[in-house]
Amino acid sequence: YTIGLYDELERISGQSCGLHRTGGLLLADTPERMEWLKMAHGRARYLGLETELLTPKEAKKLLPLIEERYFVGAMLDAADGNLDPSGTTHAYAKSARIGGAEIYLQTRVTALERRAGGTWKVITDKGTIHAEHVVNCGGLWAREIGRMVGLELPVLAMEHMYLVTDEMPEVVEFNRTHGHELPHAIDFKAEIYMRQERSGMLLGTYEKACVPWQPRQTPWDFGNELLPPDLERIAPSLELGYRHFPAMERAGIKRVVNGPFTFSPDGNPLVGPVQGLPGYWCACAVMAGFSQGGGVGLALSQWMVNGDPGFDVWAMDVARYGEWATRRYTNAKVRENYARRFSIRFPNEELPAARPQQTTALYDLMLAQGAVMGDSWGLEAPLWFAPRGVEPRDVVSFHRSNDFAHVKAECHGVRNAVGVTEIANFAKYEFEGAGAEGYLSRLMTNRMPREGRLVLTPMLNEGGKLIGDFTIAKAAADRFLVWGSSQAQIYHMRWFEQHLPRDGSVRVRRFGLGLVGLSIAGPRSRELLAHLTDADVSDGALRFLDHRSLDVANTPALINRVTYTGDLGYEIWVAPEYLRRLYLAIADAGRDFGLVQFGMRALLSLRLEKNFPTWYRELRPIYGPFEAALERFVDLSKSDFIGREAAL
């Protein structure tokens, strides 16, 4: 979309964006990297992009600078190119003015204040502007603009260097004989990217020895000045790059540029409305601004006007981070991400920076039992358990990895006896008030349960697309407990708050780690639970989808008779101070019933066997409930739930 937008901007403004549509090569130096390119090629075809897999010989025909013996293959992206940043910025500005926008230059925002009616006062050094919406697209100053409203955004600027060579005869000759510029290239092994710049080449690096810039606060008086270059820091990348592109080593260096630009912890933008601050939006950490900016603007404009971005933007939604993404966490993850910019990210790969950030009372016990831990929305959660004598670590691969046999054993243990897993990472909410039932009924597709019962229900947006699925318990006449996806907690809180009645008849809160739990599942789970409680847990007394308050192992607990594995089983929810006692009691009693520990990977495998979908793996806001085979959880006799008509 963004590339096509530049043609439109040129037509509207009459200002050239300086587009150079050269195409680009992604170069693979190993079979593993070639497998990654095959994956990227498949994804590109799905998105309608023109890509092509090439041999090293074919790649060299397009880019003669390549020393092909260092590569095993490549992928050509026909849409790749570059542009003139200044010309493009002016084309945006001219087009905006033609559309009626006002642009105030050399005007610093000093404060933001929320007005009584919900709009904003934008206080500047030249006066105050009243606005319905405020977008934080502050770039290097995104943190400072966020702090004006009490928001600490997970953004960090990194120093980034590139060099420009003198004129190269190889480039001049290629241009003369082919009549066009050389294509771009990314050399993943050398951690460099390169493109033609006039009659020479521009070469940039994402070096391992990366350096943050202004990790605490960006000076307001920082302008367009550059930072001191440090060629020593990028020397390892240059050495490899010169070996892979020998003509580059013979070229003189015209200039070296070092400047800052911003990243989020995972490298994706932070876009969208901020929970708890109606009318305040983010468009921050857009690292590849000239290739992503148009799409970010499209999403924001549709979101503001229609209440929805119009397509799936979860990967760049500002709501994907919670309060655990502190400044130190952000700085550590951004450095890790920058240093790995050109590294392969394997399936199920867990990265170590800034961990552990959050843990439960079971963390040390899990590690002692061989747990390989993963990051689940900032919380350490067990992924799988290594048996005695097996090193508890992942060996990542595009093929069957080292955890397979152990996850398989965990699955068999659950299906044939009983297993226990920690579920503290689930999202938990409480809704209270006289209007709670009607409010939830309007948000959810299913009918609300009777007191002491559970329902499973999707939630839709106004367009009839899936934005969540939940387990809901009616704990009292005006009190409901709701469980959902851990990753989407802020995303869902934003939606809940957006639709709260203004009369105060509904109150919502997020438990976080104030409510934690364990799930026991498998054919012997009832026997195990019966051993831990004096209550009657027979099938008649504690039915499927029942919700009860019981004492379990001398701890006050909430019991949901439901499992994500699809087996007979129970979720046992307790206050955090009881979690360790509960776990030790289950582990002790479970020896008589063949109890196995199982982690999140076994859980995800077991639920998939039962055709239970999960948020953002199978359930995404590009599908409706009927496309996702969730029709049994949609009560069409209800006439008033959000998205009903659009979903039909």
What token pair was written down for 93? 């500005």
One DSSP character per residue, 461-522 reads: -TTS-EEEEEEEEEEETTEEEEEE-GGGHHHHHHHHHHT--TTS--EEEE-GGGSEEEEEES
Contacts of 460 (CB under 8 A, 6+ apart): 445, 466, 467, 624, 625, 641, 642, 643, 644, 646, 647
Separation between Cα atoms, residue 576 and residue 513, nearest integer Å: 7
Confidence at residue 256, expressed as pLDDT on a 0 to 100 scale: 97
CB–CB of 506/439 below 8 Å? Answer: yes
What token pair was written down for 128? 């105050």
Sign of CA dihedral 278, 280, 286, 291: positive
Q: Where are the domains of the chain?
A: 427-609
3-state helix, strand, coil in the chain (%, to 5): 35, 25, 40
The 10s digit of each residue's pLDDT in 187-206 is 999 999 999 999 999 999 99
Of the candidates 452, 457, 438, the residue with the CA atom closest to the CA atom of residue 550: 452
- Write out residues in the chain with pLDDT < 50, as ranges: none
Confidence at residue 616, expressed as pLDDT on a 0 to 100 scale: 83
> What SS3 state is found at 614?
coil
Of the candidates 103, 125, 107, 123, the residue with the CA atom closest to the CA atom of residue 115: 123
Separation between Cα atoms, residue 52 and residue 37, nearest integer Å: 10
Separation between Cα atoms, residue 307 and residue 282, nearest integer Å: 15
The 10s digit of each residue's pLDDT in 137-147 is 999 999 999 99
Confidence at residue 223, expressed as pLDDT on a 0 to 100 scale: 87
Please state the CATH superfamily assignment of the domain spanning residues 427-609 in this structure: Probable tRNA modification gtpase trme; domain 1 (3.30.1360.120)
Confidence at residue 639, expressed as pLDDT on a 0 to 100 scale: 87
> What SS3 state is found at 67?
coil
Confidence at residue 397, expressed as pLDDT on a 0 to 100 scale: 95
